[in-house]
Structure formats: structure tokens, C-alpha cells
Structure 1
Amino acid sequence: MSITLDFNGKNLAKSKTLNLHFLPAKVNGDGNANVETYFNNYTHEAPEYGSGVVTNALRGYPLVGNRMQVPEGYKGIVLQETEKPLSESTDRQLRLTGVFDEFTYWNYDKVPSNGDPYRQALLMADVAQALSEPISEEDLETEIKRNRESKKENSS
């Protein structure tokens, strides 16, 4: 099975910016939803939970969320499958439907924190970048020297 992504840099620059929500729910639906009228209009700031925290409800369940930025150097994209696959081995094609720089991350009845698995996954982008950056000879020599001095101080 292969997955084909149907977009290029020109499409990315011209794509419409989306108002995106990351919800802790699975919605069994495939049609349009009037999110602005029936969801966004009921989102309110909740300073009692902390700075930047918002509240709402979905099907009677309380939601607590906050607006998050896509990590620096990254671009959020939304892809949609053009045709439903007939089987697991069928080739799939996804097309670009929009882009986003920020989104609202929601939890059920709990203030979002860095302990949430999704937010921890976003932090991994910074860790991956730090681990993949090249180290210069000068930086390496400086670190070796610092470690030797640290060992001398600890043994004294």
C-alpha cells in the first residue's frame, strides 16, 4: 500500500487558513458542521483555570482547552482522503484541504497541561531538533574540557 500526498509548495502558500479544534472525541460523521454557530459561539475564556484557558461543552460533556501554536519551523496541514479505500492494501491518495498555525486543544473536564500525551508529543519536535543538530569540533572540545574540570572538582 502506498500513500500519495497531493499538494506542493504553491498549494501550501495559497491554501485557506483553518480554525482547528483537537477534540477528545470520535464523531461518526462525514458532512459539514456549522462549527462557528453551534460550537465557537459557546467558547468562553475561563480565567479561573488559568491564563489562556477556554471552556465549552460537546454533547453535554464539559470541555476545557487552550489555544496552542504549531511549533516554530513547522506548518500544520489538514489532509483529506479523496476516495475511501476498498481494502487495507489499496493505494491511498490524500489532498490538501487547508493549513493552520494555531489550534484549540481540548480535554474533558480537565485543564490541559504538559502532562497530556498529545502536548508531550509536540514537545518532541524540539527534542528531535536538538538531537539532530551537528556539533562543531569547538563545542565538542569545550564540553570535554568542562567534563574534565568537573571530575577534578568532584574528586577533590
Structure 2
Amino acid sequence: MSITLDFNGKNLAKSKQLDLHYLPAKIDGDGEANVEQYFNNYTREATEFGSGILTNALRGYPLVGEQLKVPEGYRGLVLQETEKPISESSDRQLRLTGVFGDFTYWNYDKVPSNGDAYRQALLLADVAQALSQPITEHDLEAEIARNKENAKESP
């Protein structure tokens, strides 16, 4: 199976900015929704939970959320499949439908925190960057010296 992404740098630069919401729900539908009128109009700031925390409801279930930014150096993309695959092993083609730099992250009935799996996944970009940085010989020698000092100080 191969996946083909149908976009280039020019398309990326002029793609429309999206107002994106990450909801803890599966919605069987693939089309436009009047989010501004039927959802965003009911979003309120919940100062009792802290600064920047939002509340709303989806199908009667309370939502608590916050605005999150895409990690530094990255851009969020929304890709749409052009045709439904015939089988799991079929080739797939995705096209760019929009970009985003921030989005609203929602939880059911609990304040978003760093304990949420999705928030932890966003932190992995920083961890991956730290782990992929080259280490110079000078850095290695300094770390060895620090470890020797710590060994001497501990009983």
C-alpha cells in the first residue's frame, strides 16, 4: 500500500486557515458543518477552571477545552482522502484541504492537562528534537565531569 499526498509548497502557502476543533467523539459524517452558528456561539470562557479554559456541550455532554498551538516549527495540515479505499492494502491518495496554526482541544467534563494522551503526543516533537541534536566531544566530556562530581558528593 502506498499513500500519495497531493499538494506542493505553493498550495500550502495559499491554503485557507481553518478553525479546527479536536473533539473526544466519533462523528459519522464527512462534510461541511455550520460550526460558527451551532457550536462556536455557545463556547464560553470558564474562569472557575482557570485562565484560557473554555466550556461548551456536544449532544448534551459537557465539554471543557483550551486553545492549543501547533508545536514551534510545525504546521497543522488537514488532508482529505479523494476516494474511499477498496481494501486495507489499496493505494491511497490524500489532498490538502486546509492548514492551521492553532486549534481548540476538548475533553468531556474534565479540564485539559498534560496528563492527556493527546497533549503528551504534542510534547513528543520537543523530545524528538532534543534526542536528535548532535553531541560534541566537548559536551560528552562535560557530562562525564558532572557525573564524576555527583559521584564524589553522594554518600
TM-score (norm 1): 0.96
What are structure 1's unaligned runs of at least 5 residues? none
Structure 2 unaligned spans of 5+: none
Q: Hey, what does 1:12 align to over in structure 2?
A: 12
CA distance in 2, matches of 1:31, 1:94: 16
Residues 19-57 of structure 1: per-residue CA shift (max 9 Å, x gap): 000000011112211001000111111111111000001
Q: Quote the residue 1:58 is aligned against.
A: 58
Secondary structure of the 2:154 match is helix
Structure 1 counterpart of 2:122, which letter?
A: L
Distance of 2:66 and 2:27 partners within structure 1: 21
Residue matched to 1:105: 105
Shift of 1:153: 2.2
Spell out the pairing of 1:23-38 with structure 2 (5 A cutoff): 23-38=23-38
Distance in 2 between residues matched to 1:89 and 1:149, nearest whole Å: 56
Aligned residue in 1 for 2:48: 48
3-state secondary structure, aligned to 1:114: coil
What amino acid sits opposite 1:138 in the alignment? Answer: H
Count of aligned pairs between the two proteins: 155
Partner residue, 1:83 = 83
More divergent stretch after superposition (105-114 vs 4-13): 4-13
| 2:140 matched residue in structure 1 | 140
Deviations 1:64-116 (CA, angstroms, capped at 9, x unpaired): 00000001111100000001111111110000001000000000011111111
Query: Aligned residues: percent identity?
Result: 78
Q: Give the aligned CA root-mean-square deviation in angstroms.
A: 0.9
Query: TM-score, normalized by length of structure 2?
Result: 0.97
